[in-house]
């Protein structure tokens, strides 16, 4: 039976706007989103929203998940508080469970060594170069990149991140996936008819 639970990592300074398209459309297509925090204590997003995590990171098992989503946060660049989330991403990838990372989370994955051999993107290449990682040759100038089970996107590309997640999970495919992206990225109203069909 396919897994239908998606885990969204939440932590202080979590970038609220980066996963709205992804989580909203996953839940409309049969997935359940559960939040995972450092503990089950509430966290406060960059936008000031207080979130009570559904479970603590220590209790997260890739066998119970269809996807792990890591968003940007100021904490990715101000110490190693979020390093356990990057380590968990390694566990997910080793188990063959997809991971989607956007914005500062890509730097966390770079520090963990997860981008050294995989095609990826981020805000700009020199942002990741500052982490000391060895994956510069695999950096792609693109809105979002999928390499096997790893999806990466820059901070201004939440719609592109969602598109890649939907493609990887088979939520939307082909013409429907293209129409979804044109509607939400390009404001192409003609795409609505394809999605509504």
Q: Tell how far CA 169 is from the center of its chain.
A: 13
- Give the span between the Cα atoms of 155 and 124, in whole angstroms: 10
Helix 83-94 / helix 104-111 crossing angle, nearest 10 deg: 70
What average pLDDT does range 107-131 have in this prediction? Answer: 97
Three-state DSSP at 166 gives helix
What pLDDT does residue 127 have?
95
pTM of the entire predicted model: 0.96
- Decide if 19 contacts 158 (C-beta within 8 A): yes
Taking residue 195's Cβ as centre, other Cβ atoms within 10 Å add up to: 15
Three-state DSSP at 175 gives helix
Say if residue 15's pLDDT is above 90.
Answer: yes
Closest to 70 in 3D by CA, of 41, 111, 125, 116: 111
What pLDDT does residue 195 have?
87
Instruction: For 66-80, write each residue's pLDDT tens digit.
Output: 999 999 999 999 999
φ/ψ of 162, rounded to 5, equals: -60, -45
Say if residue 1's pLDDT is above 70.
Answer: no
Catalytic residue among 103, 109, 110, 161: 103
What average pLDDT does range 117-132 have in this prediction? Answer: 96
What pLDDT does residue 191 have?
93
Q: Tell how far CA 112 is from the center of its chain.
A: 16
103 noted as active-site residue: yes
What average pLDDT does range 23-35 have in this prediction? Answer: 97
């Amino acid at each position: 039976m396919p897994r239908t639970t998606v885990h969204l990592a939440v932590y202080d300074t979590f970038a609220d706007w980066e996963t709205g398209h992804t989580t909203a459309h996953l839940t409309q297509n049969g997935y359940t989103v559960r939040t995972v925090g450092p503990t089950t204590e509430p966290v406060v997003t960059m936008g000031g929203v207080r979130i009570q995590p559904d479970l603590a990171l220590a209790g997260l098992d890739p066998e119970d998940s269809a996807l792990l989503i890591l968003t940007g946060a100021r904490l990715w660049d101000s110490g190693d508080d979020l390093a356990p989330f990057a380590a968990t991403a390694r566990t997910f990838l080793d188990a063959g469970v997809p991971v989607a990372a956007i914005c500062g989370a890509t730097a966390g994955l770079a520090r963990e060594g997860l981008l050294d051999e995989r095609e990826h993107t981020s805000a700009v290449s020199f942002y990741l170069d500052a982490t000391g990682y060895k994956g510069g040759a695999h950096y792609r100038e693109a809105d979002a990149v999928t390499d096997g089970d790893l999806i990466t996107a820059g901070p201004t590309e939440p719609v592109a991140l969602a598109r890649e997640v939907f493609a990887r999970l088979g939520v939307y495919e082909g013409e429907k996936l293209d129409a979804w992206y044109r509607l939400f990225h390009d404001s192409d109203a003609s795409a609505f008819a394809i999605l509504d069909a």
